[in-house]
Amino acid sequence: MAITYDKIPNNIDLASNRKVQKALEAWQPDFKDWWMEMGPEGFQQDEIYLRTAISVDSSGWAHFDYVKMPDYRWGIFLTPPVKNRKIGFGDNAEMDVWEQVPGEYRKELRRMIVTQCDTEPASVEQQRLLGKCAPSLYDMRNLFQVNVEEGRHLWAMVHLLHEYFGKDGRDEADEMLQRRSGNADAPRILEAFNKPVEDWLAFFCFAMFMDRDGKYQLAALAESGFDPLARATKFMLTEEAHHLFVGETGVGRVVARTAQVMAENPDTDPAQLGIVSLDIIQKYINEWYTGSLDLFGGEDSSNAANYFGAGLKGRFQEMNPKRFTEHQAMDECYSLDWMEDGKMVSHEIPMRRAMNLVLRDAYRDDCERAMERWNNSLEKAGLDFRLYLPSQRFNRRIGVYEHQPFNPQGKMLSDKDYKDQYGQWIPTEADLDYVKSLMVQVTEPGHFAGWINPPAKGLNGQDVEFEYVKFVNA
Ligand code: BYC
Ligand code: FE
Ligand code: FE
């Protein structure tokens, strides 16, 4: 499917749909204003080595060149339609997929699309100051790549709102540019998208854990019986893979650096060595991983059951027969323990109501795999320390464990013990200040801040020493 480069790059033949084209063209200047106000601060005139989608087939969608961020071609790209596609699961299974919003599920679809959409600009807002303390040009470029693509994901979802939800959709699209991460009066919808990402370890954890939640949510929506949503999210996933790479290898490079320096200086305090201690890295993992668990919603959820039953949101790789051969999920249960009347009680959740959990389990397994990789570098350095994912009960703000004093091992403590020990598990002000003190901007090509290793190789076949960002005033 060819992409046309009119005012709004697209592969949906926008020119033949004048009404939607006009609505989106009216939205575009507001998007650009938002980008200049809330996008990466201070680098809008610089030349960034970015990839841009120029076609949607797997071979040619990523075109690399120097681009000023405001000139990035944000556009609307859907994966090609699958002929005669049928709804794969739930009560409407085997019916033709919907090309228009089915009236009976309009509210649910609108809500899911709005929630998904809102996270995309939110993340750009959260990360807007990080360029100023990027540990290398390579990393700075990756940050900006992630940012422009999240901007494009906003476009992808706004297109759905404009094309399929009429006036309501246009109003929702306008509000996307009015809410602000962390703003008391008009915050972003999901709580975790309201805290600023203030240092690069937090950014790497964000891309590792939050963007990975995004991957699983998008994958669940890519199974949707509402075909335009499935096709939009499928293409977003191809871009998302790089964000996860940035997060996983980013944390991995910090872990490897710490391991290496500690192995060389076994008796020195990491703070004297200008590296992030493994304790602090574990605290960051605790904070961002538990925050990401909340993004899956409650463990026992009637919303999730409705979405699955209607065929709107599936499981991860729902149609992969190696994962699922049965697409009704009617007769099984998911057992889970939680507190009731002061005791841990085993509960049987009907499987459809446990769909947030089922999706989250696939996510957790994916995170465990990354954890093993990071631990490999600790093992190689001869260190005994191992990083781990905390219990699902720890530090939760949503669901059956919310606001209960469980420790990272999942054991319930007294409120006092919990409060006293919290700073051993979650970064304290002092930890955050220390990590911030390490953040210095490094702009010499091929050079890296001392707290992080260089990557194994450069991007798109370029050397690590490549000039990934060219400053106009340099
Ligand atoms: N914060 O039935 P429940 C991404 C509310 S990230 C605040 O348990 P449900 C990205 C809920 O609204 C992926 N409120 O949950 C990453 C409900 O309210 P009502 C974003 C929350 O609905 C990095 C009540 O609690 N995509 O793409 O099954 C960079 C009970 O809810 C939260 C999506 O989220 C929360 N965390 O699941 C850039 C996909 N959780 O009805 C981008 C679309 C729940 O009582 N969204 N509540 O008023 C969804 O599928 C669902 O809305 C959720 C929640 C999975 C988020
Ligand atoms: Fe995204
Ligand atoms: Fe992302």
The CATH number covering residue 160 comes to 1.10.620.20
Indicate which atom in ligand 1 lies nearest the CA of residue 304.
28
Residue whose CA is at the smallest distance from ligand 1 atom 32: 297
Q: Is residue 3 part of a domain?
A: no
Beta-carbon-side half-sphere exposure of residue 469 (alpha carbons within 13 Å): 28
Indicate which atom in ligand 1 lies nearest the CA of residue 301.
2
Do the strands 469-470 and 333-340 form a parallel or antiparallel pair, or are they unpaired? unpaired
Tell me the sheet residues that pair with 348.
335
Q: Is residue 295 part of a domain?
A: yes
Is 249 within 8 Å of 223 (Cβ atoms)? no
Alpha-carbon span 155 to 74, nearest angstrom: 7
Is there an atom of ligand 1 within 6 Å of 118 CB? no
* pLDDT score, position 390: 98
Token output for 156: 């992808």
Alpha-carbon span 466 to 97, nearest angstrom: 46
Ligand 1 centroid from CA 297, angstroms: 5
Tell me the sheet residues that pair with 333.
350
Is there an atom of ligand 1 within 6 Å of 102 CB? no
Q: Is residue 463 part of a domain?
A: yes
Is 34 within 8 Å of 177 (Cβ atoms)? yes
Residue 81 phi/psi, 5-degree rounding, is -65, 145
Ligand 3 centroid from CA 203, angstroms: 12
Alpha-carbon span 152 to 56, nearest angstrom: 14
Q: Is residue 48 part of a domain?
A: yes
Query: pLDDT digit of tens for each residue in the chain (474 aa)?
Result: 677 777 899 999 999 999 999 999 999 999 999 999 999 999 999 999 999 887 677 665 678 999 999 999 999 999 999 999 999 999 999 999 999 999 999 999 999 999 999 999 999 999 999 999 999 999 999 999 999 999 999 999 999 999 999 999 999 999 999 999 999 999 999 999 999 999 999 999 999 999 999 999 999 999 999 999 999 999 999 999 999 999 999 999 999 999 999 999 999 999 999 999 999 999 999 999 999 999 999 999 999 999 999 999 999 999 999 999 999 999 999 999 999 999 999 999 999 999 999 999 999 999 999 999 999 999 999 999 999 999 999 999 999 999 999 999 999 999 999 999 999 999 999 999 999 999 999 999 999 999 999 999 999 999 999 999 999 976
Residue whose CA is at the smallest distance from ligand 1 atom 37: 297
Q: Is residue 7 part of a domain?
A: no
Q: How many domains are there within the chain?
A: 1
Q: Is residue 204 part of a domain?
A: yes
* DSSP for residue 80: P
Ligand nearest to the CA of 123: 1
Is there an atom of ligand 1 within 6 Å of 233 CB? no
* pLDDT score, position 58: 64
| Pocket-testing residue among 204, 303, 397, ligand 1, by greatest number of atoms within 8 A of Cβ | 303
DSSP string, 379-396: HHTT------PPPTTTT-
- State which residues form the domain around 145: 14-470
Is there an atom of ligand 1 within 6 Å of 211 CB? yes
* pLDDT score, position 60: 56
Tell me the sheet residues that pair with 345.
338
Is there an atom of ligand 1 within 6 Å of 356 CB? yes
Alpha-carbon span 54 to 358, nearest angstrom: 35
DSSP string, 13-63: -GGG-HHHHHHHHHHHHHHHHHHHHHSSTT-TTSEEEEEE-SBSSTTTS-E
Ligand 1 centroid from CA 115, angstroms: 7
Q: What angle do CA 360, 365, 367 make, to 5 degrees?
A: 90
* DSSP for residue 461: T
Alpha-carbon span 427 to 407, nearest angstrom: 15
Ligand nearest to the CA of 232: 2
Alpha-carbon span 305 to 456, nearest angstrom: 43
Q: Is residue 6 part of a domain?
A: no
Q: Is residue 315 part of a domain?
A: yes
Is there an atom of ligand 1 within 6 Å of 239 CB? no
Burial of 235 (0-12, 13-18, 19+ CB in 10 A): buried
Is there an atom of ligand 1 within 6 Å of 312 CB? no
Indicate which atom in ligand 1 lies nearest the CA of residue 215.
27
Beta-carbon-side half-sphere exposure of residue 33 (alpha carbons within 13 Å): 9
Is 303 within 8 Å of 309 (Cβ atoms)? no
Alpha-carbon span 214 to 236, nearest angstrom: 10
Q: Quick one: which of 283, 120, 105, 285 has its CA closest to 190?
A: 120
| Pocket-testing residue among 38, 109, 113, 115, ligand 1, by greatest number of atoms within 8 A of Cβ | 115
End-to-end CA distance of the chain: 40
